[in-house]
Structures are given as structure tokens and as C-alpha cells.
Amino acid sequence: MQKLSFKNRIASLYIVTTALLIAVVFVVIYISVRYNVFSHINDDITSESQKHLTEIAISNNDFRLIHEEEWMEREHNTVDVNPVFVQFIDENKQIVEKSPNLKKNLQFNTEIPLNQLFDYYLEGKSVRQIQLPIYQEKTIVGYLLVAMSLENSFMVLNDLVEVLLIAYPTILLILFLIARLIAGRSIQPISSIITTSNAITKDNLRSRILLPKTKDELYILSKTINNLLDRLETAIEREKQFTSDASHELRTPLTVIKGTLEVLIRKPRATQEYEDKINFCVSEVDRLNHLVDQLLLLARFENEKQTLKKEPVCLNSVLLDTLARQSGIIEAKEIKIKTELNDDFYCLSDHHFVTIIITNLISNALKYSRQNGLIEINLNHHHNQIVCTILDNGIGIPQADLEKVFQPFFRSKALNHPEIKGIGVGLSIVQRLCSLLQVGINIASTENSGTKVTLIFQSIPK
């Protein structure tokens, strides 16, 4: 079975099931016909027996036919297709009278109870017989033997068996061919799936499976595979873009460091100039190190779901700790921090990843805020959720760039603000962590007015 094609396997399984069903139907047909045939014979024998019992007269411990001449002229003087044989015998088992069509006497079987049908062979032919006693009051004065040939019945049954035996394989063969044809047409979309799948390579992910017109299981399979290909294409394109952006971002500081050092060794220079160039290279190395750390974070988060360490996290503590670590920047830019934390807010999450999310968002708010700016941080309960908002009145983000802020290495109008340093992966990390922790995030911004980031955590029931 395993070596057969899928189409033939479907047809074969269908035929096996159908063969069992047809076999049961044929057996039922044969049993029903056989029962009806022999039931009619039994009824005919019984009817003939009762009729002949009414055609005799009994007296003085003897019996005779009432209308012997008429009886002899009736149907029993010829051998019919399904003849009835009648024979009268006395109490001593001697023949009194018999039908003209009976060439050889019927046998009285003493081992068979009276009034019971039984089968035996008469002149090499199968007959069914009944033996009825003839009573005068309570004394048996004779017997009536009525028999009917079974040859015609057996011939009908044998013909039926032959027809069924011939019809059985013929029907199965025809059904197999029809099932194979129907199965071939039914699984035609699978051939399309195979052809399309063979045409898809890492360099060609744009091919899609043609959806069947009938919305059945094959339609769902084809649509599911197309959706999978869409996700694969998107992931590979994102990976290519990420690789391109990462290589560019890594190449830039390395090129700057190399160029600075090459200029530095061309001729002797003053100690102060050496110190300045070396400090510049150190800052570029720090920037490169930070970039590598961020890239490693992005790569690690792809498979981080299995290593989540969920525990009660106090958001108040995370926010205050983050502000304490950023106090140097806050003081340098003289930014005013306004917090509204009217309760203790706990969520069930990973403390380390929540800290990264909050740190990145507050760091961005400080980075893009103007001197003497204002940052508002609020925590509120909303049903079974905790809503955290971080609002600044900094340079904001243009509406056209809001959809791109989560893309790695994207920085909105970076050339317009060269004094703001960054590599553009912070929000990408935040989005991936929010997806990992099932934290909702929304960013709303207006250029030159500020940015509002909203985080939605699942609260721990009190």
C-alpha cells in the first residue's frame, strides 16, 4: 500500500470499504431470496396438503377420494416446472392413491415427526416433503404425503450466486477506475502545490500556489502555505535589510577609527593632538561596542520566549530606578520630571526585560527633549490592566515616520539633529520585547510638540 501513489491509495481504500459493503449487501440479497423461495415452497406444500385433506372421505377405518376422476384430471397429471407430488398411504404404509405425475413412490420416513417438512432425493432430484396423518376420530387410518421439487429453486439460487460472483469483481473494478479518476481530479491542487514548492528557492519567494475554486481542506492548505510563504518572504527581506543596515553601521565607526589613526601616524604631532585623537577613537570604540551589544540583543530575542523568567514586577520601582540612573542627563539638560504614581503597580513579567523597555523609552524621551524640557510619567489602573504613559515635549516625530520607528537602524531626520547620538535600534528592541512579554505599546507624536508612549501591562489581581 505504501508503494502506491496517493491517488491509487485513496482509490484502494475506497474500494476496500466499498467491497466490504457490497459483500454484505450481496449476502443479504442471497439470504433474502433463498428465504423467500423456500418460504413460498413451504407455503405451497402446506396449502396443497390442506386442500387434499378436504378431498377425502373417511369411514370404517378407511378413506377414499371423494371425486377421484376430477382429482386425476387436475394439474398433477403432468411434470410441471415446479411440480407437486401427492400420495395417499394407509396405516400399513401401503399406497392407496398417488398423483399421475409421480413415477416413483414417495418415501415415508418414520424418523421424521409428522407435520414437519424435510428434504431428501427422489430419483436423483431434491424434493421437500411433508407427512400428514389422516384421522378417523382419534385413530390414524392413513397418511397424506405431499412433496414439491426443489430443483427449480436451487437453479434460481445457483444462477443468483453466479450473477453475484460475476458482478462483484466487475462492480469493484468499475468503482476503482471511477474512484481513481475522481481522486486524481480531487488532488490536482496537490500537484500544483508540489510544482510551486519546487519552484520556490531562497532567491525566488514570490511564487504562490493557485487557490482552488472550492473552499475545502485543500483550499485551506494552499492558503496556509501561501501565508507561510508571505511570512518567510517578509522575514528574509527583513533579515537582508537588517544585515545590510548592520554592516553599514559597523563599517562607519571602523572607517572613522581607521582614517583617524592613518592621519595620526603620517607625521609627528603634539601630545595634546595625540590625546584628542585617541580619545576620539575611544569614543568611537565605545559606540561600536554599544552597537554590537544592541545587535546581540536583537538576535537573542528571536528565541527568548523559552527562557522567560516571569515574576511579580513592581513598575514603580523600575521607573524610579531608571530615573536615578539617568540623573546625570536629567541634571545636565535641566529637565523637569513629573511623576504620578498613586498606588503600587505590579505586573507578572520578566523583570530584566521590563527594565530594558522602560530604560530605552525614558532614554529616548531624555535624548529628544530640549533643554529645560518636561517629561511626565504616569501609572494608572484600567480594568485589569496597568497603563504606563511617558510623555515628553521634545522635537517629536513626523507623522510619515511613525510607522517606521520600530524598524532597526531607522532614525527620523537624523541629519537635522546631528547633536543627538544614536544607532536606531532602541525602539526595535522595545517592540520585540513587548511582543515577547505580551505588553501593548502605542506611540503618538507631533513634530516639534513631543511624543507620547503608552505601555499596557496585565495587572496582578490583588
Q: What is the pLDDT of residues 99-147, one digit of tens each?
A: 888 888 888 888 889 889 999 888 888 889 999 998 888 888 889 899 9
**Chain-centroid distance, C-alpha 455:** 37
pLDDT at 167: 92
* pLDDT, averaged across the chain: 81
303 or 141: which leads in pLDDT: 141
pLDDT at 26: 93
Whether residue 240 has pLDDT greater than 80: no
Whether residue 76 has pLDDT greater than 60: no
Mean pLDDT of 412-430: 62
405 or 453: which leads in pLDDT: 453
Strands 336-341, 374-382: pairing is parallel
162 or 407: which leads in pLDDT: 162
Whether residue 293 has pLDDT greater than 80: no
Residue 1's pLDDT band (cuts 50, 70, 90): very low
Mean pLDDT of 339-352: 87
336 or 309: which leads in pLDDT: 336
Kindly report which listed range (45-59, 125-139, 279-293, 408-422) carries the lowest average pLDDT score. 408-422
Alpha-carbon span 349 to 315, nearest angstrom? 10
Whether residue 332 has pLDDT greater than 60: yes
Whether residue 35 has pLDDT greater than 60: yes
Whether residue 29 has pLDDT greater than 90: yes
pLDDT at 328: 83
pLDDT at 454: 92
Residue 79's pLDDT band (cuts 50, 70, 90): very low
Whether residue 78 has pLDDT greater than 50: no
pLDDT at 84: 84
Alpha helices in 265-415 (DSSP H): 271-301, 315-325, 327-332, 351-367
**What percentage of the chain has pLDDT greater than the value 90?**
16
Mean pLDDT of 344-356: 88
pLDDT at 80: 52
Mean pLDDT of 202-206: 70
Whether residue 183 has pLDDT greater than 60: yes
Mean pLDDT of 166-195: 82
Return all residues near 445 (Cβ < 8 A) that are at least 6 apart.
396, 397, 399, 402, 451, 452
pLDDT at 415: 46
pLDDT at 161: 92
Cell 514586577: give the residue.
313
321 or 306: which leads in pLDDT: 321
Residue 25's pLDDT band (cuts 50, 70, 90): very high
Rounded-to-10 torsion of CA 189, 191, 195, 198: 110
Torsion-angle region of 166 (φ positive above 0: left; ψ -120 to 50: alpha; else: beta): alpha
Alpha-carbon span 306 to 398, nearest angstrom? 37
Return all residues near 311 (Cβ < 8 A) that are at least 6 apart.
348, 349, 350, 351
Whether the full predicted model's pTM is greater than 0.75, yes or no, is: no
pLDDT at 263: 80
Long-range CB pairs of 374-377, under 8 A, 24+ apart, other chains included = 374/335, 374/336, 374/338, 375/335, 375/336, 375/337, 375/338, 376/338, 376/339, 376/340, 377/319, 377/323, 377/337, 377/338, 377/339, 377/340, 377/341
Whether residue 389 has pLDDT greater than 70: yes
Whether residue 375 has pLDDT greater than 60: yes
